Amino acid sequence: MSLQICDIFSFHVNGKRIDCRFKNPYCTIDFAKFCRQLNSKNKANFLKASVINIEQGELFKVFTSNGSFLSKYVVDATGYRASIAKLLKRCYVHNDALSFGIETEVPYRTKDFHFFYEPSFIKDGVAWLFPCGEFSRFGVASYKGETKLLDKLDLFLQRYNLKRQKVHGGFFCYCFKEPVVENVFVVGCAQGQTLPLTGEGIRRCIFFGIKCGEIIQRILDRRINLNEGINEYSNLALKARRDFNFLLAAQNRLLKMSDISIFRETLS
Ligand SMILES: Cc1cc2nc3c(=O)[nH]c(=O)nc-3n(C[C@H](O)[C@H](O)[C@H](O)COP(=O)(O)OP(=O)(O)OC[C@H]3O[C@@H](n4cnc5c(N)ncnc54)[C@H](O)[C@@H]3O)c2cc1C
């Protein structure tokens, strides 16, 4: 499943390279294949529809583009939009705390994960190069949600004499929010499970998604009640706040720095 495993993250700052070896290695995966395999184990009915509204009564009533559904338990896993939580709590989504990134996969082999912090090249953002076997993923992101990044991606690729292929990307939020809103469980980027600074989220969103599913299963099996389940999920999700805040502070600090001061701070 994994395409390449690396334990070195290289930070490129002001033309210099700083290598950090991680205790636990990271890997790149074929995300589409991973999702297909995961879903093949899923015995639930899958319906592709947009959630439009939700009403609270004895049961939740969820209105979608493909009919309405009654349910005792609802999970909002709609990414940065938090489409359900924001219907129940106005101001749940912070549109001023969104990063935006794009990425392309091109034929290029390298060994390590690379992050580039160069304000004079990409202001308020980061560029990265992640190896995945015969290919590498080149990406750029803005911590301020700037969406016009194609030129930056092209310039980044030009450094390696490469041309952009198919591009994908979007917003991800850096706002840590309450894990349960009006008895709706909020999972993934919707709750703030994508990390600031690095934008890493897949591993964490899957971890919390599985934990949330297990808790709801125990509620369904009457081994715990709803309140116990809500407390358990909330406590688990809120434990991540410390690491989240650490990375957010680093991201905010980075936004205030020039190329030179970043380099000095990174070395100190
Ligand atoms: C360019 C880029 C590169 C990235 N690279 C990495 C990486 O290398 N490693 C990593 O770990 N993370 C990476 N991330 C972050 C990662 O993509 C997120 O952490 C992850 O996708 C969050 O998962 P999620 O399921 O919470 O949300 P999403 O993946 O955003 O999924 C939410 C889904 O809900 C749907 N939805 C929204 N509103 C509604 C509605 N009203 N009704 C129905 N459906 C709705 C959306 O269409 C979407 O399909 C990257 C992000 C970007 C933008």
Convert the pLDDT of each residue in 54-82 to its tens digit. 999 999 999 999 999 999 999 999 999 99
Helix, strand or coil for residue 197? coil
Kindly report the average pLDDT of the chain as a whole number: 93
Burial of 15 from C-beta contacts in 10 A (0-12 / 13-18 / 19+):
exposed
* Contact present, 89 and 181 (Cβ < 8 Å): yes
What's the confidence (pLDDT) of residue 80?
Answer: 97
- For residue 172 the two structure tokens come to 């991800």
> Is residue 83 within 6 Å of ligand 1 at its C-beta?
yes
Q: How far apart are CA 203 and CA 53, in angstroms?
A: 29
Run of H or E residues at 34: helix 31-40
Q: What is the pLDDT of residues 13-53, one digit of tens each?
A: 877 899 999 889 999 999 999 999 988 988 888 899 999 99
The dihedrals phi and psi of 205, each to the nearest 5 degrees, come to -65, -35
Angle at 116 between CA 251 and CA 261, to 5 degrees: 60
pLDDT digits (tens, 9 = 90+) for 111-141: 999 999 998 899 899 999 999 999 999 999 9
At 259 the pLDDT is: 59
Name the E strands within 111-203: 113-117, 125-132, 135-142, 167-173, 180-181, 184-186
User: What are the backbone angles phi and psi of residue 214, rounded to the nearest 5°?
Assistant: -65, -40
Give residue 179's Cα distance to chain centre: 15
Kindly tell me if the per-residue pLDDT of 264 is higher than 80.
no
Provide the whole-model pTM. Answer: 0.94
Could you count the other beta carbons within 10 Å of the beta carbon of residue 86?
17
What confidence tens digit (pLDDT) does each residue in 199-229 have? Answer: 999 999 999 999 999 999 999 999 999 999 9
79 Cα–ligand 1 center, Å: 5
Q: What pLDDT was estimated at residue 256?
A: 83
Whether residue 258 is predicted with pLDDT greater than 90 in this model: the reply is no
Choose which residue among 189, 206, 207, 244 to substitute to test ligand 1 binding: the one with the highest number of ligand atoms within 8 A of its C-beta: 189
pLDDT given for residue 123 in this prediction: 86
User: Residue 221: what pLDDT?
Assistant: 98
Ligand 1 within 6 A of 50 CB?
A: yes
Predicted local confidence at residue 129, as pLDDT: 97
Residue in 99, 120, 163, 130 with CA at minimum distance from that of residue 27:
130
Count helices and strands in the chain by DSSP H and E runs:
7, 13
Which ligand 1 atom sits closest to the C-alpha of 194?
19
pLDDT of 128:
97
Predicted pLDDT at 19: 94
pLDDT, one tens digit per residue, over 164-205 is 999 999 999 999 999 999 999 999 999 999 999 999 999 999
* pLDDT on residue 255: 86
Task: Tell whether ligand 1 has an atom less than 6 A from the beta carbon of residue 13.
Answer: no
